Amino acid sequence: MKKKILIISGGISKERLISLDTGNQVAKELRKNGYLVKIIEPNSKLIGAIKLFKPKIIFNALHGQFGEDGYIQSILETTGIPYTHSGVISSALAMDKILSKKIFLKNKIITPKYISYSFNKTKSNLVTQIRRKLKFPVVIKPINEGSSVNVFICDEKDIFRKLKHLSEYKRIIIEEFIPGREIQAAIIGKKKLGAIELKPKRKFYDYQAKYNPKAKTEHLMPVKLTKKKYEELMNIAMKTHKLLGCKGISRSDFKFFKDKFYLLEINTQPGMTKLSLVPEIAAFHGINFINLLKLILKDASTNK
List of residues 6+ apart from 54 with CB closer than 8 A: 4
List the catalytic residue out of 9, 13, 15, 252. 15
Q: Annotated catalytic, 276?
A: no
Task: Give the up-direction half-sphere exposure of residue 55: CA atoms within 13 A in the CB hemisphere.
Answer: 29
Parallel/antiparallel/unpaired status of strands 181-188 and 218-220: unpaired
Q: Annotated catalytic, 299?
A: no
Q: Annotated catalytic, 232?
A: no
Look up residue 116 and give its DSSP letter. Answer: E
CA distance 282 to 292: 7
List of residues 6+ apart from 125 with CB closer than 8 A: none
Q: Annotated catalytic, 147?
A: yes
Q: Annotated catalytic, 68?
A: no
List the catalytic residue out of 29, 253, 262, 299. 253
List of residues 6+ apart from 252 with CB closer than 8 A: 184, 185, 186, 187, 236, 237, 240, 241, 263, 265, 266, 267
Q: Residue 131: how many CB atoms within 10 A of its CB?
A: 11
Q: Annotated catalytic, 253?
A: yes
CA distance 60 to 270: 11
List the catalytic residue out of 35, 211, 230, 262. 211
List the catalytic residue out of 86, 147, 252, 276. 147
Q: Annotated catalytic, 218?
A: no
List the catalytic residue out of 9, 267, 276, 299. 267
Q: Annotated catalytic, 60?
A: no
List the catalytic residue out of 251, 252, 262, 276. 251
The residues carrying an active-site annotation are 15, 147, 211, 251, 253, 265, 267, 271
